[in-house]
Amino acid sequence: VQQREMTKARKLFDEMPERDVVSWNLMLSGYLSCRGSRYIEEGRNLFDRMPDRDFVSWNTMISGYARNGRMADALCLFNGMPERNVVSWNAMITGFLKNGDVKHAMEFFERMPERDVASLSALVSGLIQNGKLDKAARVLLDSGRIGDDGREDLVHAYNTLIAGYGQRGKVDEARRLFDQIPSYHDRGKFQNARFGRNVVSWNTMIMVYVKTRDIVSARQLFDQMPVRDTFSWNTMISGYVHMSDMEEALNLFGKMPNPDALSWNCMISGFGQMGNLKLAREFFERMPQKNLVSWNSMIAGYEKNGDCEQAIKLFCQMHLKGEKPDRHTLSSLLSVCAEFVDLHLGMQIHQRVIKIFIPDVPLNNSLVTMYARCGAIIEARTIFDDMKLQKDVVSWNAMIGGLASHGFAADALELFGAMKRLKVQPTYITFISVLNACAHAGLVEQGRTHFKSMVTEFGIEPRVEHF
């Protein structure tokens, strides 16, 4: 059942000499966890045949209907239950919210005879997903006035809503909500000591500031924290890295009690982005236990800073250590091959890509770029054409750029025409290749026409490279 091999599971189930309610519920859960109406109907047939049903049976069936958007069926089943528990109500509320029916979700929440720790969190999360953040805030405010009932789940719901405001860039609302949660110093004033800011509350608010690049407010809050965990430290270090303030990131890393792999990788990546490959490599070598991200960060650092030789050497070292590459590793190496114009190595990596992965769009783009830069236009075009409708603007730019730079001006301009017909929005990079193609082919008037359309039709500001 866990592997969703329902035919085998059903065969074993049918062969059982005796079945109890757990056996029936396992099969029911298996059918309803699979996608497709056929499995739901199989589940319902099984449910109707059950000699005995418990809460799990009813709630599993209700949740299955809700997950598949069949709320009328879920409601009919809910109304037919001989007895309901809090999970039944939660399943209905979650189902309504998942299907965008906020009104009925609120009604059911108000009607609940009792609530557990999941009830309020489910409602708040669902309201956030439906864009009803202010309504979620009102629910929290009302829930805070109901005495002890439900207080233990309040802080989790508050944290969820703070994150929701943060994701939408509403920093002031997030901070106002954070300030409403009683702090540890004030908890004596509140009846239920379980309700107060926890480390997740602090981390969530710090993350909101970091995401909006307000590193000063994030640091102020970090310094006020009564207790910090590894996530707190990593959030602040990551914030400084994204602000390119490696001095402060290094300072904080030095004070961190127990840096984990994420802390080390963040520093390696940060120094790599700043071009300080010496320090990046020093951190990489000092790292107590490297993972795939560590190797990728270091290889990407070399690739982005044009040290192709070191990138390839490190990849060979990675291979000797028995670390298997992923899409990011191979994408970085393909960029190295493109920069190095090393077709032989590029083809070797391409073979490895085919053996290990079904290439996705970014990996295909890297392959097109590598072959095009190395002058293997036929190979580049084959991959480009095989991408069919999966192409993005990067794919088009890579192919048009490859054609233009290797003297196939007419083909480059023809492909640009196809790009426009398919309503793919060109970028300033596209026009660099298009104008280069016109220049190499001596198509002065056509070049002027494209330059004018770049500004008037596509609203792209001319850059030095366009002249």
Structure confidence by residue, pLDDT tens digits, 323-334: 999 999 999 999
- Across the range 116-142, mean pLDDT stands at 86
Token digits for 220? 């102020």
pLDDT digits (tens, 9 = 90+) for 3-26: 567 888 888 888 888 888 888 988
The per-residue pLDDT for 3 is: 57
Least confident of 32-41, 96-105, 251-260, 321-330: 32-41
The confidence band for 456, taking pLDDT boundaries of 50, 70 and 90, is very high
Token digits for 233? 């430290």
Residue 2 in this model has a pLDDT that exceeds 70: no
The per-residue pLDDT for 141 is: 75
The confidence band for 148, taking pLDDT boundaries of 50, 70 and 90, is very low
Q: How far apart are CA 81 and CA 88, in angstroms?
A: 9
The confidence band for 359, taking pLDDT boundaries of 50, 70 and 90, is confident
- Across the range 385-401, mean pLDDT stands at 94
In the chain the first and final C-alpha atoms are separated, in Å, by: 63
Asked if 144 contacts 157 with a C-beta cutoff of 8 angstroms, the reply is no
- Across the range 295-308, mean pLDDT stands at 93
Q: How far apart are CA 431 and CA 301, in angstroms?
A: 28
The confidence band for 395, taking pLDDT boundaries of 50, 70 and 90, is very high
Which residue is listed with tokens 């059918």? 31
One-letter-per-residue 3-state SS of 257-296: CCCCHHHHHHHHHHHHHCCCHHHHHHHHHHCCCCCHHHHH
Residue 186 in this model has a pLDDT that exceeds 70: no
The residue ranges of every structural domain in the chain are 1-109, 115-186+194-227, 392-467
The confidence band for 440, taking pLDDT boundaries of 50, 70 and 90, is confident
The per-residue pLDDT for 300 is: 94
The per-residue pLDDT for 202 is: 96
CATH of domain 115-186+194-227: 1.25.40.10
Number of residues that this document lists for the chain: 467
The per-residue pLDDT for 191 is: 45
- Across the range 12-41, mean pLDDT stands at 86
The per-residue pLDDT for 67 is: 86
pTM: predicted TM-score of the whole model, two decimal places = 0.76
Task: Calculate what percentage of the chain has a pLDDT beyond 70.
Answer: 94
The per-residue pLDDT for 184 is: 57
Reference 434, options 458, 455, 410, 456; nearest CA is 410
Residue 29 in this model has a pLDDT that exceeds 50: yes
Q: How far apart are CA 173 and CA 165, in angstroms?
A: 7
The per-residue pLDDT for 144 is: 61
Q: State the greatest distance between any 2 C-alpha atoms of the chain, in Å, as a whole number.
A: 85
Least confident of 120-124, 313-317, 428-432: 120-124
Mean pLDDT (the chain, rounded): 89
Residue 185 in this model has a pLDDT that exceeds 60: no
Q: How far apart are CA 308 and CA 299, in angstroms?
A: 9
The confidence band for 147, taking pLDDT boundaries of 50, 70 and 90, is very low
Angle, in degrees to the nearest 10, between helices 133-143 and 154-167: 160
- Across 92-119, b (16+ Cβ under 10 Å) vs e yields bbbbbbbbebbebbbebbeebeebbebb
The per-residue pLDDT for 121 is: 85
Which residues, other chains included, contact 265 with Cβ-Cβ below 8 Å and sequence gap of 6+?
Answer: 291, 293, 294, 297
The per-residue pLDDT for 68 is: 87
The per-residue pLDDT for 180 is: 85
pLDDT digits (tens, 9 = 90+) for 417-438: 999 999 999 999 999 999 999 9
Residue 143 in this model has a pLDDT that exceeds 80: no
Q: How far apart are CA 166 and CA 214, in angstroms?
A: 12
3-state secondary structure (DSSP) of residue 275:
coil
Q: Which fold has domain 1-109?
A: 1.25.40
Better pLDDT: 135 or 205: 205
Sequence letter at residue 35: R
Name the most confidently modeled range: 178-187, 288-297, 435-444.
Answer: 288-297
Reference 413, options 439, 374, 394; nearest CA is 439
- Across the range 72-95, mean pLDDT stands at 92
- Across the range 392-408, mean pLDDT stands at 95
The confidence band for 151, taking pLDDT boundaries of 50, 70 and 90, is low
Which burial class, exposed, middle or buried, applies to 5 when counting CB atoms under 10 A from its CB (0-12, 13-18, 19+)? exposed
Name the DSSP letter for residue 342: -
